[in-house]
Amino acid sequence: MELRVFANEHILADSASDMIIAAVAKKPDALLCFATGDSPRLTYQLLAQKAERQHIDFSKCFFIGLDEWLDIEPGNSGTCHYFLHQYLLDPLGVQSSRVHLFDGLTKNEQQECDQMNQLIKNFGGIDFILVGVGMNGHIGFNEPGTAEDSTTHIATLDHTTRTVGQKYFDTPVPINKGITIGLKQIIEARSLVMLASGKRKAPVIRRLLEDDISTAFPGSLIRQHPAGILVIDEAAASELQKELYDPGIEKR
């Protein structure tokens, strides 16, 4: 894994959006997987601007969503479905035939998991994945203690995820379960970029980099990824021991 620390969130997002563009330049028919949430929002906004200016062709890529809340209407602005359409898929003009998102209202959870597993398998794995990290260290909805060899599954959300997750919703909703691509599929992605910014994430980043590598804190698994890049800003790096990184290197 490589650690890149940027002076602020804007510079971070500028760099992360360039990483997505580079992934598509390298493999125009890539299987791309994207998280939602506060961490990638600005990255997607900058990506959409650059894609228009630079005429980047995403038409051969295939897009999948990392996760979804279960039992919530996709029209609810707090869902991953809504977010990905608003900030990524619609601004990039991605055809619906090139997208697979989880159906959070599915009546057949196993089938929903099987479909995603089969899709990822058919593509020979994920080429590029962009994730955030939760306050409890989760990646997607792979909560602490999730098996390292897990594929797509239904997750019972822990207290932190249920509480913090309310920030995405206009009115309080019960969020108890989620569906998520599994740790194995995430860690096996050929390129893995994880974003974290802001002071709020500083204790998360300290644990992620300084605790033992363990599914007790799933974000720590990125350290085993040969092509993993952890992209953070100085606020998120502020609780790290200084010798872990040189704050001068990646500032632009």
Q: Draw the binding track, 34-73, toward ligand F6R (x: CB under 6 A; -: no contact).
A: -xxxxx--------------------------xx------
Shortest approach of ligand F6R to residue 37 CB, angstroms? 3
- Token representation of residue 75: 């029209």
**Among the listed residues 78, 137, 140, 218, the single contact to ligand F6R using CB under 6 A:** 140
**Buried-state track 200-214, b at ≥16 Cβ within 10 A, e below 16:** ebbebbbbbbeeeee
Q: Return the number of other C-beta atoms located less than 10 Å from residue 224's C-beta.
A: 11
Shortest approach of ligand F6R to residue 172 CB, angstroms? 17
Shortest approach of ligand F6R to residue 83 CB, angstroms? 8
Residue 197 to residue 13: CA distance in whole angstroms = 10
Does an H or E element contain 14, and which?
helix 9-26
The residues that are catalytic are 67, 136, 138, 143
Nearest Cα residue to 59 out of 88, 31, 28: 28
Does 134 engage in binding with ligand F6R (CB under 6 A)? yes
Nearest Cα residue to 102 out of 127, 84, 87, 124: 84
Q: Report the residue number, 132 or 228, with the smaller CB distance to ligand F6R.
A: 132
Q: Report the residue number, 39 or 151, with the smaller CB distance to ligand F6R.
A: 39
38-54 vs 9-26: helix crossing angle, rounded to 10: 60
Residue 114 to residue 21: CA distance in whole angstroms = 29
The residue number with the shortest CB distance to ligand F6R is 132
Residue 171 to residue 78: CA distance in whole angstroms = 9
Does 15 engage in binding with ligand F6R (CB under 6 A)? no
Shortest approach of ligand F6R to residue 68 CB, angstroms? 8
Q: Return the number of other C-beta atoms located less than 10 Å from residue 27's C-beta.
A: 15
Does 194 engage in binding with ligand F6R (CB under 6 A)? no
Does 12 engage in binding with ligand F6R (CB under 6 A)? no
Does 138 engage in binding with ligand F6R (CB under 6 A)? yes
Does 132 engage in binding with ligand F6R (CB under 6 A)? yes
Q: Of 14-22, 87-95, 129-137, 209-217, which segment contacts ligand F6R by CB under 6 A?
A: 129-137
Shortest approach of ligand F6R to residue 161 CB, angstroms? 7
Q: Return the number of other C-beta atoms located less than 10 Å from residue 24's C-beta.
A: 20
**Chain positions contacting ligand F6R, by CB under 6 A:** 35-39, 66-67, 80, 131-134, 138-140
